[in-house]
Structure 1
Amino acid sequence: MSETSMLEVRGLVAGYGAAPVLREVDLTIPRGAITAVLGANGAGKTTLLRTLSGLLKPTAGRIVFDGQDLRGAKVEHLVRRGLAHVPQGRGVVAELTVEENLRLGGLWRGDAAGLRRDVAEAYETFPALARRRKHSGHQLSGGERQMLALARALVGRPRLLLLDEPSLGLAPRVTAQIMALLRRLRDASGLTVLLVEQNVRGALSVADDGVVMSLGRIAVTASAERLRDDAALRHAYLGF
């Protein structure tokens, strides 16, 4: 594995039942970069993230995260290694308050003082959550739940963040704020991000690289700039 890579995937096959969704996927994610995963509905984007985060076991292939082979690794092990997954649908615990959700994100950590600092930093980053810290998850708006899911993942101090459709159902202003935050985190801490998005323009505006999936395979790998500027590629794979 290259020292410049945070994640390498080779020959990955995974699915639900007999028919595979992912078909011989090869993928390299550079360290400290934002990589956008694009493609039509049903292309395999969400299945890819679920497999990388340990929620779905592959039937073939290798996943190497920061030099370690993840075959057979449990989700808890991946979290402790620094991999965080924010799934589609804003995965927060609706019965818990904002504060409790944030603390849950750092439950595995042994440094209580550091966890308190990171929770306080989450409130500084997302002032809307600070105002709602005693409210339960089901009392939050869609945008607030998305902020909470992202903030909870960040409290765990990940090195690789898997984000599945963070803009889904959000107002353009909130989407822009989340994309800007990803840029700041990449620049400030070297966070590596794998971003699945249907909002192609928004994703390419923040990404360094882009991967286009089609029918469970990687169809195109290119810089985000090339995907933005190459009309033929856009028309062929992204529909605009």
Structure 2
Amino acid sequence: MSELASSSSAPSTGTLEISGLTTAYGPVTALDSVDITAGRGQVTAVLGANGAGKSTLLRTVSGLVRPAAGTVLLDGTDLTRAPAEEIARAGIAHVPEGRGVITELTVEENLRLGALLGASRKRTEHNLARVYEMFPALAQRHRRDAHVLSGGERQMLVIGRALLSGPDVLLLDEPSLGLAPRIVAQIFGLLRELVDSDGVTVLLVEQNARSALSIADVGIVLNLGRVVARDSADALAADDGLRHAYLGF
């Protein structure tokens, strides 16, 4: 199976190191000294209730929100206060919550938007073929306007669009939201395949803790902006007290 062509010609391990990250909205501290290391070829699931700081974490890493303190390193390069475009070019792709597609454009036109940050034509075509290999439903509808897609297909489309840049790190915010369990299982299975075959690092924010832990290597639990637990995904899933207190299953 072919792999995604990386966003950078330089060797990369895709290791994301978040240290002491603190983000505030006015007087409200959304993240409080958060430490997370997401290793290459791993899914790190960030779990917690609404208001735990999960989406703020991804928005801070991708440069959409500026932190008050702390650092974000990709393979040792400090991206903490870099512009969002520079962070994307460095190899971090962010798929926010909401499945935002441009319905007036075709499926393929939506996908190609992900390659606008300077990808070479050769790399773009390689990554487009890889996305169609991963998501056959998109290949079948590549000439159709995006408004014909189901909710699950739109989620595949926004993930595929992010992959067109050939990222080293993929930030995913609530990809299961509003989808039927069968579609969630399909998309999460494809994410696991992506990590195993292409070596992409995935930082996955989810309220669907059971599904997230089923494909994750490592789990992090946030509560009111603080890390309250971190362990292997299997260990977190087996901890009844933790699950009942923070994860809802």
Bin for the TM-score computed over the shorter chain: over 0.9
Distance 1:4 1:222, change over 3 A: farther
SS of the residue corresponding to residue 99 of structure 1 reads: helix
Alignment equivalent of 1:96, drawn from 83, 105, 113: 105
Q: Which residue type is aligned with residue 106 of structure 2?
A: T
1:117 is aligned to 2:126: yes
**Deviation at residue 183 of structure 1 after TM alignment:** 1.3
**Greater mean deviation of Cα atoms: 192-201 or 115-124:** 115-124
Match of 2:87 in 1: 78
Q: How many residues are aligned here?
A: 238
For the aligned residues, what is the CA RMSD? 1.7
Q: Check conservation: 2:96, 2:172, Cα contact below 8 A.
A: yes
- The list of structure 1 runs, each at least 4 consecutive aligned residues, that deviate by more than 6 angstroms after superposition, is none
The alpha carbon displacement at 1:97 in A equals: 1.7
Distance 1:99 1:5, change over 3 A: closer
For the 8 Å contact 1:7–1:29, the answer to whether it is kept is: yes
Structure 1 residue 5: Cα displacement = 7.6
- Asked if the contact 1:15/1:47 (under 8 Å) is kept, the reply is no
Which residue does 1:66 correspond to in 2? 75
Identity of aligned residues (%): 58
Q: Which one-letter code corresponds to 1:123 in the other structure?
A: Y
Counterparts of 2:105 and 2:13, CA distance in 1: 39
1: CA distance, partners of 2:242 / 2:233: 12
Q: Name the SS for the 1:49 alignment partner.
A: helix
Selected match of 2:20 from 11, 19, 22: 11
Q: Determine the structure 2 residue equivalent to 1:156.
A: 165
Q: Normalising by structure 2, report the TM-score.
A: 0.90
| Alignment-derived partner of residue 142 in structure 2 | 133
Residue among 26, 41, 55 paired with 1:32: 41
Asked whether the 8 Å contact 2:216–2:233 carries over to 1, the reply is yes
Unpaired segments of 5 or more residues in structure 1?
none
Segment of structure 1 superposing worse, 190-199 or 13-22 = 13-22
TM-score (norm 1): 0.93
Letter in 2 for 1:239: G
